Structure 1
Amino acid sequence: MESEQKMLDEKIRSIAAEHPIVCYDGVCGFCQRVVQFILPRDRAGRFRFTAIQSDVGQALLSHYGLDPQALDTFVLIDNHRAYTRSTAGLRVLRGLGGGWGLLYAFIAVPKPLRNAMYGWIARNRYRWFGRTDACLIPGRDVRERFLDT
């Protein structure tokens, strides 16, 4: 068991060194739509994805000192650093490039205000966008970008 955890930690470090990783609630309809929004706009294929509920997602959150049971957060691991909530979302938009990067200007809004809006959406996401029984199943064209498949 300990050797499996060590291998997973090494895999995480290796992937995190090469690609930003988006951790999302795998049964949240809104979160799945966010991933489906990112995929076609990330033309360079930089981002990798994992559901927080997966073994990889749980290990990532633990590795970066985050609560693996916190399904109400969006996490971006980039350059061996974890970003959460609105900061993670804005950094993803910046990473998409093009016009989406301009939205990063909202980073100037005080973090408590940004995260208050984020929290309101997070609290209502299941009601507004539904909940699924399973995590997103990626198509063959993007499957290699998902760490838990």
Structure 2
Amino acid sequence: MSLHTLILRYAAFAVVATIANLASQRLVLQFGETAVHFAGAVGAGTIVGLVIKYVLDKRWIFYDVGTGVKKHGRKFSLYTAMGLVTTAIFWGTETAFWLIWQTDMMRELGAMLGLSVGYVVKYNLDRRFVFTDRQLAAPA
């Protein structure tokens, strides 16, 4: 895969996961806007975005076509662990924007900024530590 294709594909998947993340947050925030609702919204959005991004990255970025619960469990665990670092970037940025401006628009802008920076860091971590199998399928 060319670098251009990789960047476009990874960016598109990041956008899909971001939209799913923010939609999940909005859904949770329909039930209230307390600190508990905010924490639940951020958590739910993160889980939804994580699962979607893992499935897309595994198959279409790293060409990992491996099967099996044990192998998937290990990779998803590593993928999630790498995401802890980048999630801190995302949550910190989103929360800072919310605390400073206290508007949904600025919270979402902070989320998008944090997710963008986080995804660049995450790609590099995943390439180095998660999707390392020598037998990964070659891109067509």
> What band does the TM-score fall into relative to the shorter chain?
0.3 to 0.5
Identify, as 1 or 2, the structure richer in helix. Answer: 2
Larger radius of gyration: 2
Identify, as 1 or 2, the structure richer in strand. Answer: 1
The structure whose RCO (Cα within 8 Å, separation 6+) is larger is: 1
TM normalised by structure 2 equals 0.32
TM normalised by structure 1 equals 0.31
